[in-house]
Structure 1
């Protein structure tokens, strides 16, 4: 995993500055949605307070902080966490935020975990910069921190389980180009592809965009471009659906949309289905019911990169328990991998 470590730590700051600046230049949608800490989209905190999911009488306490408590993706993460929790002697306390823009909410949950005597913290950081200080404070108290789903722009954590998101972004771009060609789009004609994000503060999102743009720049026809009118949905499906609809209305040359996370992908799938846009190619992440049905429908062209988020939760809890027990990990990053889901894959697996 040395390759991933080099990419995620050494170049993360440059990627954040260069890639997101490129994407968001001239983009009024993002500036309106990406509010400051004091200007939450909802006006209120979206914290889901801790619940002990297993073994409340155990003296050892593990606190889990998710960056989007609800939804298909995170339900699968929780399944992995609960499976691991049954195998260890520790109380597992589950909490998180309901909106990925509520960074203050995650920080407050980090502070509360320490006050309540956490022996270890499993964190899915919503913001790769803002959560770095919190992780440092926790580790100074000799409390191990394991990250899942995304990393932070710091080395102040013990282990991280996540997808190699640059590689995944490259895979997404390669599949997008293949499907665009297969759909009969001419390399000699103008064509546009839009990108939907949940957050521009997540290293996972930044790297998925970085990998996509890098591959696109190398292999896409010169007349095929990436749009810059990108909005952030904060992990909200309805917002993602609205963003996809606006993208289609504003850009007549749109022939493909890339969803960088589960909620973005669901929003795209729902919009294309409602508008019967069979001319649009979709590449997304993860596997909600709407995404599955879209991919299965022979009238549409779509694939999704399914992460192994259950493994992130399962391995994260197991490793955290080992760290609490005094064991060390020589490796900091672990790539949990992705699976390319297309209609053939679903047919082979007999998915209904």
Structure 2
């Protein structure tokens, strides 16, 4: 038997955990200035003061969330008087869902999803903070997803102005925004109390991508498993998209492809095959965050983009029973989120016939909807 053939109980991964999205690397490189800015903003918490609010922004996959979580862990080593909470706004996309997640992480009890008002649940959060004399720092990850329906202002207003109604409450917010083309702006009432330190995360340079990917390969695989050619291909794909998460996912899928072939080496072909799935990472994550009704409408659009909105609404209503107002809200949300293009043609009354088309290849959308 060839020594290059992988036996059924063997693996080429020395530590596969390194290739998971929630893995925090011990050595987080090429983001020193951003990490320093975050540390400086949180420093007042060590003296019982409210930390400086932050607006962390940049393209997807540029280390924003990792940097915030790394600094959270650092500060935890110096004080027990600060409670750190991260909320994934792609999943918790309403004011009630956000405060429910905060409550759950503070007291380690999941609140009921119904039968309790936002106000009562929020008061429980505040009571915990006041009774324990803790400062709360909330990282709202992917806050983009709270903007289309106005939830961002509601959440920010409740958190940042809590001290006005509950004296002694100390809450600061780190808003993490991915630049994916969704326009955002806070209500002036929020802006007047947010006043954040803005911390920009630019795209990684190709040399930085190569450095980071090489480090992940070193720690995730056994020695000499990934060839230089395969590594260069991963780096090229990441540079093309600008998203490091695609590269990490690509390494994982490539390794699994090699194991499926019972090979001890990751080939260029393994990477090329894996990219077909990894390239849809963003799209599938965005679609996964949609409600069932939103997915239904997106599926109708992907199947036939030639329909004017009037006919599209009729189909949507037949399937869901929802009215035109909700239909229009979903169209606007998906248009703002760059999942669809919604343009007016010169046809129809006063040239205002609107056609809706998928912003991605219909086959890719339908694949992610499966």
> Greater strand percent: which structure?
1
Q: TM-score, normalised by structure 2?
A: 0.27
Q: TM-score, normalised by structure 1?
A: 0.28
> Greater helix percent: which structure?
2
